[in-house]
Chain A
Amino acid sequence: IEMTQSPSSLSASVGDRVTITCRAGQFIATYLNWYQQKPGKAPKLLIYLASTLQNGVPSRFTGGGSGTDFTLTIDSLQPEDFATYYCQQSYFTPFTFGPGTTVDIK
C-alpha cells in the first residue's frame, strides 16, 4: 500500500498549530500510526490506530482520520517538536511508511 504525505516539509514558529496529512493508496480503516524522528535518533511512536496517543506523548499531538485520509496535528509547536514525522499503515503487509514530513524552524 503506497503512503503519501503532504507537505514534504514545512517551516513553522514556536506556538504555531501544524497539520500534516497522510494518504493511503487504498482503504486501511484506522490502521495508521505516526512516528517522530530526530536526526541521528530512532523513530518514536506518537499515535497508533489513527488517534490513540502513546503513553507519555504530550497531548498537543492529535491524530485523526479513517479510510484513506489521515492527519497529525501539533497544537502550539514546541522547540522539541522540530523533527521529521512519518505515517505508517499497519492494515496489510508489507507495512509501509510515508516519505516523511520535516518540520523546521521558520
Chain B
Amino acid sequence: QVQVVQSGAELKKPGASVTVSCKASGYTFTEYAMNWLRQAPGQGLEWMGTMNTKRESPTYAQGFRGRFVFSLDTSVNTAYLQINNLTTEDTAVYYCARDGAVAGNWFDPWGQGTLVTVS
C-alpha cells in the first residue's frame, strides 16, 4: 500500500543541525510531490513547502527559507528535511505528506511525524 515512513525522534542542542527522512513506498516516487509540514506543541498545522520529485525542485513557504533544506534521494525513494542552526522555536513535530494526486495539492498519505526537540 502507499505509505511514507519517517525517521525517529531527535533531541538536539541549539545551533546544531538535524535531518529528518521520509521513505516512500507503494507508488512511483517521482510522480507525486512531497510536502513538509510543521506542528509546534499544542498548535495547528503549517505548510513548510514542497519538493517536486520529478524535477528535484523545492519550493519553500516564506518563513522556511534559509535554514530549511529539502532534498531527495530518488534511488531509495526518500525525501529529506534538514534544519540548520536550530533554535528552541524549532521544537515541533515535522511531517512529510505526499500530494494526494498528481497536481492535487491535498495531502495523503502522511508520515507518522518526527518530533524534533531543541534543548
A37-54 contacts to B, CB under 8 A, are 41-45, 48-49, 54
Q: Does A62 contact B (CB under 8 A)?
A: no
Q: Are B47 and A96 neighbours in the complex by a CB distance under 8 Å?
A: yes
Q: Are A86 and B44 neighbours in the complex by a CB distance under 8 Å?
A: yes
Highest count of chain B CB atoms <10 Å: which of A43, A96, A100: A43
**A-B pairs under 8 A by CB, number:** 60
Residues of A within 8 A of B90 (CB): none
Q: Does A93 contact B (CB under 8 A)?
A: yes
Q: Does A6 contact B (CB under 8 A)?
A: no
Q: Are B61 and A90 neighbours in the complex by a CB distance under 8 Å?
A: no
| Minimal beta-carbon separation of A83 from chain B (angstroms) | 14
Residues of A within 8 A of B31 (CB): none
What is the size category of the interface that chain A forms with chain B? 20 to 34
| Minimal beta-carbon separation of B10 from chain A (angstroms) | 17
Q: Are B106 and A42 neighbours in the complex by a CB distance under 8 Å?
A: no
Mark contacts of B29-46 with chain A using CB atoms, 8 A cut-off: 1 yes-contact digit, 0 otherwise.
Answer: 000000100000000111
Given contacts A94-B61, A99-B44, contact A88 B106 (CB under 8 A): yes
Q: Does B110 contact A (CB under 8 A)?
A: yes
Given contacts A97-B47, A99-B44, contact A44 B110 (CB under 8 A): yes
| Minimal beta-carbon separation of B94 from chain A (angstroms) | 11
Residues of A within 8 A of B106 (CB): 33, 45, 48-49, 88, 90
Beyond A44-B110, A48-B104, 4 additional contacts (C-beta under 8 Å) are A35-B107, A43-B107, A48-B108, A93-B61
Q: Are A45 and B44 neighbours in the complex by a CB distance under 8 Å?
A: no
Highest count of chain B CB atoms <10 Å: which of A54, A93, A95, A97: A95
27 contacts between A and B (CB under 8 A): A42-B95, A42-B112, A42-B113, A43-B45, A43-B95, A43-B97, A43-B107, A44-B108, A44-B110, A45-B100, A48-B108, A49-B106, A54-B108, A86-B45, A88-B107, A90-B104, A90-B105, A90-B106, A93-B59, A94-B62, A95-B47, A95-B105, A97-B45, A97-B46, A97-B47, A98-B44, A100-B44
A16-45 contacts to B, CB under 8 A, are 31, 33, 35, 41-45
